[in-house]
Amino acid sequence: MRLGLVIDLDTCVGCHACAVACKQWNTSGTTGPLTDESPYGAAPTGVWFNRVRHYEVGDYPHTKTVNMPLSCMHCDDAACVTVCPTGASYKRREDGIVLVDQDKCMGCNLCAWACPYGARELDPQDGVMKKCTLCIDRIYDGALAPEDRQPACVITCPAHARHFGDFDDPDSAVSRLSRERGGRKLMPELGYEPTNTYLPPRSAPTVPTADVRRGSLMSNVKDWVNKAIAR
């Protein structure tokens, strides 16, 4: 299995609900807490596994706002695991999920340096590295209803912009989506082979106008006059 996310940049509205749901689930889950510093102060800061950033693509007037949630891509060639000296960072053979064993981590930051996607954040309180687990404590929890065995971010997304599944299965929803919609990997030139895939915004279809209104005689004459007489 190769579990991961498909994120639809066409429908993502940039509401940060996934980031908040992630924070809520994981701060009280097995990897928690996701420590905050001065949460009510002037400069609140803390650990997040998922962050949403906002970009403008193109030049005026042909611009588009793109909201981009970023979390661990659970890379096939995960340099964060390669560089880790303690063996705290590891990639699971059975499903490809990249995890940190907090009992082994020495807090050297090297894995965060090796990750191009900003997916790892050190918790200064605990002194260990923390990152997205793909909600491993949800997706395998048999006590949950099958539709709830998904990452918190996927379940919460009000725009259905997030999809979870197995990329090794060509018939899974994520495989089909990324195939049909031309899913893209980020920074492919670095060779990390990220699993998470981003669907580009669809180009807006042109609204057909030809059959919208059959012109009356009067309007046809008007149109003809407008065309014929140079203003």
Partner 1 sequence: MHPALSVIIFTVLSGAGYGLFSLVTLLHLSGRYPASGQTELVTQLGLALALITLGLFSSTLHLHNPKNAWRAVMRVRTSWLSREAVCALSFYPFALIYLWQVLQVGVEAGPLMVLVGGIALSLALLTVFTTGMIYASLKTIRQWHTALTPANYLLLGLALGATALVAVHAGFGGRSEGLVLLALGLLLLAGVMKGLYYLWIREVSGPSLNTATGFTQARVRLLDQGHTAGTFLTREFGFDPGAGRIRRVRLGVFGFGFVLPLLLMGMVLGGGSSLWLAPALMSALAGIGLERWLFFAEARHGVMLYHGLQRT
Rounded to a whole number of angstroms, the distance between the first and last alpha carbons of the chain is 66
The binding track of 15-54 with respect to ligand SF4, each residue x by CB under 6 A or -, is: ----------------------------------------
Distance CA 69, CA 50 (A): 7
CA–CA separation, 81 and 99 (whole Å): 9
What is the residue whose two structure tokens read 């060509």?
Answer: 170
User: Considering only CA atoms, which of 153, 191, 113, 143 is closest in space to residue 7?
Assistant: 153
17 versus 132: smaller Cβ distance to ligand SF4:
132
The enclosing H or E element of 178 equals: helix 173-180
Q: Does 92 bind partner 1 (CB under 8 A)?
A: no
Return the residues of window 24-83 that contact partner 1 according to CB under 8 A: 42-45, 47-48, 51-59, 65-66, 68, 70, 79, 81-83
Reported as type and span, the H/E element at residue 197 is strand 197-199
126 scored as a contact of partner 1 (CB under 8 A) = yes
Nearest Cα to 19, choosing from 47, 40, 45, 50?
50
Q: From the list 23, 74, 162, 181, which residue makes contact with ligand SF4 (rule: CB under 6 A)?
A: 74
Q: Quote the CA–CA distance of 73 and 134 in Å, as a whole number.
A: 9
- Out of 118, 179, 215, 222, which residue is the one contacting partner 1 (CB under 8 A)? 118
155 touching partner 1, by CB under 8 A? no
State which of positions 130-189 bind ligand SF4 (CB under 6 A).
Answer: 131
Nearer to ligand SF4, 164 or 192 (CB): 192
Q: What are the two backbone dihedrals, phi and then psi, of residue 152, each rounded to the nearest 5 degrees?
A: -60, -35
Helix (H, G, I), strand (E, B) or coil at 56: strand
CB of 33 to partner 1, least distance (A): 15
Q: Is 185 in the site for partner 1 (CB under 8 A)?
A: yes
Task: List the one residue from 17, 66, 129, 153 that touches ligand SF4 (CB under 6 A).
Answer: 129
Which secondary structure element, helix H or strand E, spans residue 137, and what is its range? Answer: helix 136-139
Locate 199 and state its tokens.
Answer: 């669907």
Q: Does 117 sit near ligand SF4 (CB under 6 A)?
A: yes
Residue 159 in the binding site for partner 1 (CB under 8 A): no
- Using CB under 6 A, which of the segments 36-44, 69-77, 149-157, 213-221 binds ligand SF4? 69-77
Interface ranges with ligand SF4 (CB under 6 A): 72-75, 78-80, 83-84, 86, 88-89, 98, 100, 105-111, 115, 117, 119-120, 129, 131, 192, 194
